[in-house]
Copies of this chain bind each other. A is one copy, B any other.
Amino acid sequence: MSSSENRDKLIRTASRLFRSKGYAGVGLKEILEAADLPKGSLYYHFPGGKVELADAATRWAGDWVAAMLGQCFDQAASFKEGGVRACEALAAAAEPQSCVPACPVVSILQATPSEPALRKTAQEIYDMWTAGLARQAERFGVDDPQQAALSLHMRLQGAWILAYAQQSGAAFHHLAAELRKETVG
Protein backbone atom coordinates (compact mmCIF):
# COMPACT_ATOMS: atom_id res chain seq x y z
CA MET A 1 0.00 0.00 0.00
CA SER A 2 1.59 3.19 -1.29
CA SER A 3 3.93 3.92 1.52
CA SER A 4 4.35 7.56 0.69
CA GLU A 5 0.67 8.30 0.25
CA ASN A 6 -0.23 8.26 3.93
CA ARG A 7 3.12 9.68 4.82
CA ASP A 8 2.34 12.70 2.66
CA LYS A 9 -1.09 12.96 4.13
CA LEU A 10 0.45 13.18 7.59
CA ILE A 11 2.84 15.87 6.40
CA ARG A 12 0.14 17.95 4.77
CA THR A 13 -2.24 17.61 7.70
CA ALA A 14 0.44 18.38 10.26
CA SER A 15 1.64 21.38 8.27
CA ARG A 16 -1.84 22.83 8.12
CA LEU A 17 -2.51 22.34 11.82
CA PHE A 18 0.91 23.52 13.01
CA ARG A 19 0.63 26.65 10.89
CA SER A 20 -2.76 27.34 12.39
CA LYS A 21 -2.09 26.69 16.08
CA GLY A 22 1.65 26.27 16.47
CA TYR A 23 3.75 23.22 17.27
CA ALA A 24 2.88 23.05 20.97
CA GLY A 25 -0.75 23.86 20.34
CA VAL A 26 -1.45 20.75 18.31
CA GLY A 27 -1.56 17.26 19.75
CA LEU A 28 -0.81 14.05 17.90
CA LYS A 29 -4.39 13.00 18.55
CA GLU A 30 -5.68 15.96 16.58
CA ILE A 31 -3.32 15.35 13.69
CA LEU A 32 -4.19 11.67 13.51
CA GLU A 33 -7.91 12.32 13.65
CA ALA A 34 -7.64 14.96 10.93
CA ALA A 35 -5.60 12.64 8.75
CA ASP A 36 -7.80 9.67 9.68
CA LEU A 37 -4.82 7.48 10.45
CA PRO A 38 -3.83 5.48 13.50
CA LYS A 39 -0.88 6.21 15.71
CA GLY A 40 0.97 3.23 14.34
CA SER A 41 1.24 4.85 10.94
CA LEU A 42 2.74 7.99 12.37
CA TYR A 43 5.48 6.18 14.27
CA TYR A 44 6.16 3.91 11.32
CA HIS A 45 6.75 6.79 8.93
CA PHE A 46 8.25 9.11 11.56
CA PRO A 47 10.03 7.09 14.23
CA GLY A 48 11.15 10.35 15.79
CA GLY A 49 7.54 11.19 16.60
CA LYS A 50 6.16 14.69 16.77
CA VAL A 51 9.48 16.44 16.26
CA GLU A 52 10.35 14.49 13.14
CA LEU A 53 6.88 15.05 11.72
CA ALA A 54 7.07 18.79 12.42
CA ASP A 55 10.48 18.91 10.83
CA ALA A 56 9.26 17.20 7.68
CA ALA A 57 6.10 19.30 7.53
CA THR A 58 8.01 22.54 7.92
CA ARG A 59 10.56 21.62 5.28
CA TRP A 60 7.79 20.61 2.92
CA ALA A 61 5.98 23.92 3.37
CA GLY A 62 9.28 25.78 3.25
CA ASP A 63 10.08 24.25 -0.12
CA TRP A 64 6.64 25.19 -1.36
CA VAL A 65 7.18 28.82 -0.38
CA ALA A 66 10.62 28.85 -1.98
CA ALA A 67 9.17 27.50 -5.22
CA MET A 68 6.42 30.10 -5.13
CA LEU A 69 8.93 32.89 -4.63
CA GLY A 70 10.95 31.54 -7.51
CA GLN A 71 7.91 31.59 -9.80
CA CYS A 72 7.03 35.15 -8.80
CA PHE A 73 10.47 36.44 -9.65
CA ASP A 74 10.79 34.40 -12.81
CA GLN A 75 7.67 36.08 -14.16
CA ALA A 76 8.83 39.53 -13.08
CA ALA A 77 10.73 42.14 -15.04
CA SER A 78 12.48 43.60 -12.00
CA PHE A 79 13.32 42.73 -8.42
CA LYS A 80 10.72 45.18 -7.24
CA GLU A 81 8.04 43.55 -9.34
CA GLY A 82 9.06 40.18 -7.99
CA GLY A 83 8.45 41.45 -4.48
CA VAL A 84 5.04 42.76 -5.45
CA ARG A 85 4.12 39.46 -7.05
CA ALA A 86 5.28 37.57 -3.97
CA CYS A 87 3.01 39.67 -1.76
CA GLU A 88 0.08 39.05 -4.01
CA ALA A 89 0.80 35.34 -4.17
CA LEU A 90 0.95 35.07 -0.40
CA ALA A 91 -2.26 37.06 -0.11
CA ALA A 92 -3.91 34.82 -2.67
CA ALA A 93 -2.77 31.76 -0.78
CA ALA A 94 -4.15 33.18 2.45
CA GLU A 95 -7.51 34.40 1.34
CA PRO A 96 -9.47 31.30 0.37
CA GLN A 97 -8.55 29.48 3.59
CA SER A 98 -10.85 29.31 6.56
CA CYS A 99 -7.78 30.07 8.62
CA VAL A 100 -4.97 32.27 7.30
CA PRO A 101 -1.95 30.13 8.12
CA ALA A 102 1.20 31.50 9.69
CA CYS A 103 4.61 31.25 8.08
CA PRO A 104 5.56 27.58 8.46
CA VAL A 105 8.82 28.48 10.14
CA VAL A 106 7.10 30.71 12.68
CA SER A 107 4.87 27.80 13.63
CA ILE A 108 7.85 25.81 14.95
CA LEU A 109 9.95 28.73 16.15
CA GLN A 110 8.55 28.80 19.66
CA ALA A 111 9.30 25.14 20.07
CA THR A 112 13.00 25.59 19.39
CA PRO A 113 14.01 26.27 23.01
CA SER A 114 12.71 22.80 23.92
CA GLU A 115 13.49 21.10 20.62
CA PRO A 116 16.94 22.11 19.37
CA ALA A 117 16.58 20.04 16.21
CA LEU A 118 13.87 22.38 14.98
CA ARG A 119 16.07 25.45 15.40
CA LYS A 120 18.43 24.16 12.73
CA THR A 121 15.51 23.46 10.42
CA ALA A 122 14.12 26.95 10.92
CA GLN A 123 17.44 28.57 10.18
CA GLU A 124 18.02 26.46 7.10
CA ILE A 125 14.66 27.37 5.61
CA TYR A 126 15.17 31.06 6.26
CA ASP A 127 18.63 30.82 4.72
CA MET A 128 17.17 29.06 1.68
CA TRP A 129 14.59 31.78 1.16
CA THR A 130 17.07 34.61 1.61
CA ALA A 131 19.57 32.94 -0.70
CA GLY A 132 16.87 32.55 -3.34
CA LEU A 133 15.91 36.19 -3.08
CA ALA A 134 19.56 37.23 -3.22
CA ARG A 135 20.05 35.22 -6.40
CA GLN A 136 17.08 36.99 -7.95
CA ALA A 137 18.35 40.39 -6.82
CA GLU A 138 21.68 39.62 -8.41
CA ARG A 139 20.01 38.48 -11.60
CA PHE A 140 18.22 41.83 -11.84
CA GLY A 141 21.42 43.75 -11.16
CA VAL A 142 20.39 45.14 -7.81
CA ASP A 143 23.17 47.09 -6.10
CA ASP A 144 23.57 45.02 -2.94
CA PRO A 145 21.74 41.73 -3.57
CA GLN A 146 22.29 40.31 -0.09
CA GLN A 147 20.99 43.43 1.57
CA ALA A 148 18.01 43.64 -0.78
CA ALA A 149 17.15 40.01 -0.07
CA LEU A 150 17.35 40.44 3.69
CA SER A 151 15.29 43.59 3.52
CA LEU A 152 12.53 42.02 1.47
CA HIS A 153 12.51 38.88 3.58
CA MET A 154 12.12 40.98 6.70
CA ARG A 155 9.20 42.90 5.27
CA LEU A 156 7.48 39.76 4.08
CA GLN A 157 7.84 38.25 7.53
CA GLY A 158 6.33 41.33 9.10
CA ALA A 159 3.42 41.30 6.70
CA TRP A 160 2.91 37.59 7.31
CA ILE A 161 2.71 38.06 11.07
CA LEU A 162 0.17 40.86 10.70
CA ALA A 163 -1.82 38.86 8.17
CA TYR A 164 -1.92 35.95 10.56
CA ALA A 165 -2.91 38.18 13.47
CA GLN A 166 -5.70 39.82 11.51
CA GLN A 167 -6.62 36.67 9.64
CA SER A 168 -6.64 38.66 6.46
CA GLY A 169 -4.45 39.17 3.43
CA ALA A 170 -4.68 42.94 3.79
CA ALA A 171 -1.16 43.29 5.17
CA PHE A 172 0.25 41.59 2.07
CA HIS A 173 -1.68 43.92 -0.21
CA HIS A 174 -0.49 46.85 1.83
CA LEU A 175 3.12 45.81 1.46
CA ALA A 176 2.63 45.24 -2.26
CA ALA A 177 1.29 48.78 -2.66
CA GLU A 178 4.19 50.13 -0.66
CA LEU A 179 6.78 48.32 -2.74
CA ARG A 180 5.15 49.58 -5.93
CA LYS A 181 5.52 53.18 -4.79
CA GLU A 182 9.21 52.89 -4.00
CA THR A 183 11.82 54.26 -6.43
CA VAL A 184 12.90 51.67 -8.93
CA GLY A 185 16.44 50.55 -8.05
Q: Does A99 contact B (CB under 8 A)?
A: yes
Q: Of the candidates B111, B151, B161, which one forms a contact with A161 in the assembled complex, judged by CB atoms under 8 Å apart?
A: B161
How many copies make up the complex? 2
Query: Which of A18-26, A38-46, A54-62 binds B?
Result: A18-26
Q: Across the interface, which residues of B come within 8 angstroms of A156, CB to CB?
A: 158
Contact flags A136-157 to B (C-beta < 8 A → 1, else 0): 0000000000010011011111
Chain A residue total in the interface (Cβ 8 A): 39
What are 24 A-B residue pairs whose CB atoms fall within 8 Å in the complex?
A: A20-B113, A21-B114, A22-B24, A22-B25, A22-B110, A23-B25, A24-B25, A25-B111, A102-B109, A105-B165, A107-B110, A109-B164, A122-B165, A126-B165, A150-B174, A151-B178, A153-B162, A154-B159, A155-B155, A155-B158, A156-B158, A157-B158, A158-B161, A161-B161
A residues contacting B by CB (< 8 A) are: 20-25, 99, 102-103, 105-107, 109-111, 113-114, 122-123, 126, 147, 150-151, 153-159, 161-162, 164-166, 171, 174-175, 178
